[in-house]
Amino acid sequence: MKRTICIAALATLLSGPAAFGQSRAIVLHAARLLDVETGKILAPAEVLVENERIVAVGTQVNHPVGAETIDLGDRTLMPGLIDSHTHLFLHPGAEDLQTVQESVPQRTLIAVAAARDDLLAGFTAERDMGTEGAGSADTAVRNAIDKGMFPGPRLRVSGNAVDILGGHEDANHFNPAQHVLSNADYANDALELVKVIRQQYKEGADFTKIYETGRDSFRDGEFHTPFQYTEAELRSAVQEAARVGKHVAVHATGEPGTLYAARAGVVSIDHADQLSDETMRIMREKQIFAVPTFTISEFFADHAPTKEQAEREKVLVGYHAREFKKQLAAGVPFAVGSDVGPFPHGTQAREFVLMVKFGMTPLAAIQAGTLNGAKLLGWQGQTGNLKAGYFADIIAVAGNPVEDITAVQKVGFVMKGGVVYKK
């Protein structure tokens, strides 16, 4: 069924009236519409879409002659969801082995299928945080989606992440004689960071992902994680990215790496298990987003190979949940990011549920996965809201997500750029 829907959507892209420069109007009608800025519900609700943009929103909108009306019944219209931390090139299974055993062409096909699954789950925009050894293949996936060749979310891509020799993402546990390659691009100092960043941008990356901490551990009940780059080295990377209007995001779970990243001016600190008071102050003042990725931690705890590892993962989840409450109280800005890939694509709306479980209000979680995600990805004023002039990235969910956040896991309609992919 999903494949049939996607093929129909592709046919619309390639042969529909809009493809030949003619105006194509659609009116969406539903019982409710969520204003994600205020949390207010508009009932009943209609949205007029022409080509790829929203033209009007209200209880009743103009129905142009020839417009198609889609009645979505007892559902809530809302902006398409935004996942700011995905891995399209990963799938469930032995992560380290799949990056060694599967060819880049094979992994690219897997990424195309993953992008489709994410879109059909209501995610109309995503930031892919590293291909894990597939280099700039994500550029091809992004471009193919943009050209209408395959269904998928709007994408911001990084190519490989950047790491030090022997760092978090290096092939540290293989036979050294086999010379297994790292899943990231090596950079061991500021000059190498600049060189790697320039190469990645040449190959089409939208931003840079850097591993700043890892591996994590608990010792005597305290969280520890070594930093990988100094503040000065990170600042060099941030300045190089800024030179061409781009940003740096970091994998950083704790201090002092998180503080170095905040001082350097990164755009987001992903995972953010541990943030000091000073780090939180800087993030609040600079509006640096924390991206918690609770879903991957829950998945690892639930699917650990041993009881001992499961307990370690559960301790980490509990620790992060407690720290998350402190971060909320400190006014740290948040964006939704799931780290989907090691767990199945298309199921990552669970992240909204966990953010609410650990202390965020449903509306704040929705804002983190719409308004804030759009800002983080550089699409503020273009997507993440249902307003005239915005891209028609629209979903419909069963129930009212402000009253029951699990509604975002029940997406029954998906439109991206005025094209219907699921109904």
* DSSP strands (E only) in 12-168: 25-30, 32-34, 41-42, 45-50, 53-58, 68-71, 75-79, 81-86, 123-128, 154-157, 162-163
Report percent pLDDT > 70 for the chain.
95
Gap between the Cα atoms of 340 and 20, Å rounded = 37
Question: What single string gives the DSSP state of each residue in 252-280?
Answer: E-STTHHHHHHHHT-SEEEE-----HHHH
**Residue 144 belongs to domain spanning:** 81-376
DSSP letter assigned to residue 66: T
Residue 14 and residue 90 in one domain: no
Beta bridge partners of 420: 415
Q: How far is CA 191 from CA 196, 210, 324, in A?
A: 9, 14, 35
Report percent pLDDT > 90 for the chain.
85
Of the candidates 210, 126, 225, 206, the one whose C-alpha atom is nearest the C-alpha of residue 169 is: 210
Confidence of residue 23 (pLDDT cuts 50, 70, 90): low
Cβ atoms of 396 and 389 closer than 8 Å: no
Confidence of residue 40 (pLDDT cuts 50, 70, 90): very high
- pLDDT computed for residue 13 by the predictor: 43
Gap between the Cα atoms of 123 and 166, Å rounded = 34
Gap between the Cα atoms of 417 and 79, Å rounded = 12
- pLDDT computed for residue 94 by the predictor: 78
Q: What is the CATH number of the domain that holds 343?
A: 3.20.20.140
- pLDDT computed for residue 18 by the predictor: 40
Confidence of residue 97 (pLDDT cuts 50, 70, 90): confident
The domain boundary residue, chosen from 357, 376, 395: 376
The mean per-residue pLDDT over the stretch 118-146 comes to 97
Q: Kindly tell me the sign of the dihedral angle through the C-alpha atoms of 142, 95, 84, 338.
A: positive
Q: How far is CA 187 from CA 217, 245, 334, in A?
A: 24, 21, 28
- Per residue in 59-80, pLDDT (tens digit) is 999 999 999 999 999 999 999 9
Residue 124 and residue 250 in one domain: yes
Residue 73 and residue 117 in one domain: no
Residue 27 and residue 127 in one domain: no
Written as six digits, the tokens of 409 are 């896991």
Residue 333 and residue 400 in one domain: no
Gap between the Cα atoms of 248 and 158, Å rounded = 9
Identify residue 79 by its one-letter amino acid code.
Answer: P
- Per residue in 202-252, pLDDT (tens digit) is 999 999 999 999 888 888 888 999 999 999 999 999 999 999 999 999 999
Q: What 3-state class would DSSP assign to 40?
A: coil
Q: Kindly tell me the sign of the dihedral angle through the C-alpha atoms of 194, 199, 204, 208.
A: negative
Residue 410 and residue 355 in one domain: no
Residue 371 and residue 390 in one domain: no
Residue 266 and residue 403 in one domain: no
Residue 69 and residue 218 in one domain: no
Residue 46 and residue 157 in one domain: no
Confidence of residue 172 (pLDDT cuts 50, 70, 90): confident
Residue 355 and residue 415 in one domain: no
CA 247 to chain centre: 15
What's the Rg (C-alpha) of the chain? Answer: 21
Q: What 3-state class would DSSP assign to 294?
A: helix
- pLDDT computed for residue 283 by the predictor: 98
Confidence of residue 175 (pLDDT cuts 50, 70, 90): confident
Domain count for the chain: 2
3-state SS record for 204-221: CCCCEEEECECCCEEECC
- Beta-strand relationship, 289-291 and 222-224: unpaired
Residue 367 and residue 357 in one domain: yes
- The phi and psi torsions of 420 (rounded to 5 degrees) equal -85, 125
- The pTM assigned to this predicted structure is 0.94
Q: What is the CATH number of the domain that holds 14?
A: 2.30.40.10
Q: What 3-state class would DSSP assign to 100?
A: helix
Mean of all residue pLDDT scores within the chain: 93
